[in-house]
Amino acid sequence: MRRKFVAGNWKMNGSANSIRELLQGIREGAAEVAAVELAVFPSFVYLGLVEQQLSDSSVGWGAQNLSEHASGAHTGEVAGSMLQDFHCDYVIVGHSERRTLYGETDEIVARKFATARKIGLKPILCVGETLQEREQGVTEAVVERQIKAVLDLEGISGFADAVIAYEPVWAIGTGRTATAGQAQEVHAFIRAKLAQLDSALASQVCILYGGSMKAANAAELLAMPDIDGGLIGGASLEAKEFLAIAKAGC
Ligand code: 13P
């Protein structure tokens, strides 16, 4: 039985004060949704604050990105080992905003995934199609290509401790959520693709949905057999809303 996982991707939002307040709210409500794993993903600069506030709680944390390199002359980049200094459990790789705004290719994302795993950070691999790709009927081909880049580098065992987040680009920050049926279809496709290589691993792998997920639509999405949780953007910036999404998964 896969445990539900609700993760808050804060993106480039928050301040030290707002984060303290948000974390206090999440901590206060976490016990009520203990059946669900919770984690938050602040900007790098707030990882120390988040660690300080959450280290004695059941809520985990991670970063939104990492460098594919271990160290060296990469101005402005952050190495996985630095994330370990802040005891991150997870790191998001290949978010669509990284792919589209910062030119991260499937190959770069795969290398970041490998870098994270090599040092024991659990990668959350984001995949998903644009609206144009969905309308062209190539959703499955796009998602398969994005996953194949990781499989080519890491093999199926690379997914043993990893998480996949299906985030249709057209649903991110738009208020336009995929229907539960649309999301389930892609989640089942991903699981089936992995099952062709290792069915036991595929049945264990956690596949999150992301894209305008909120308390009002979470129950329907989380009731789907292959949707194991959510990667939440906007709605994770309010403790009450974030916890209500988790509650829907209990
Ligand atoms: P929204 O929930 O704001 O649509 O963002 C989803 C997302 O990109 C999470 O990584």
Task: Show the domain range for 191.
Answer: 5-248
Q: How far apart are the first and last CA of the chain?
A: 13
Kindly report the CATH number assigned to the domain that includes residue 238: 3.20.20.70
Q: Strand, coil or helix: what is 157?
A: helix
Per-residue pLDDT, 1: 75
pLDDT tens for 59-118 read 999 999 999 999 999 999 999 999 999 999 999 999 999 999 999 999 999 999 999 999
Q: Report in angstroms the alpha-carbon separations of 34 from 4, 5, 133, 165.
A: 10, 11, 38, 21
φ/ψ region of 155 (left if φ > 0, alpha if ψ in -120 to 50, else beta) reads: left
Bridge partners, residue 230, by sequence: 6, 209
pLDDT tens for 169-200 read 999 988 888 899 999 999 999 999 999 999 99
Q: Is the pLDDT of residue 33 over 90?
A: yes
| Amino acid symbol at 230 | G
Compute, in angstroms, the gap from residue 77 CA to the centroid of ligand 1: 23
Q: Is the pLDDT of residue 230 over 80?
A: yes
d(CA 72, CA 69): 8
Residue positions annotated with a catalytic role: 95, 167
For the CA of 96, the nearest atom of ligand 1: 8
For the CA of 173, the nearest atom of ligand 1: 4
Which residues belong to the annotated binding site?
Answer: 9-11, 173, 212, 233-234
Closest residue to atom 7 of ligand 1, CA basis: 233
Per-residue pLDDT, 71: 97
- What are the φ and ψ backbone dihedral angles of 242, each rounded to 5 degrees? -60, -45
Domains identified in the chain, total number? 1
């194949």: which residue's tokens?
A: 148
d(CA 24, CA 26): 5
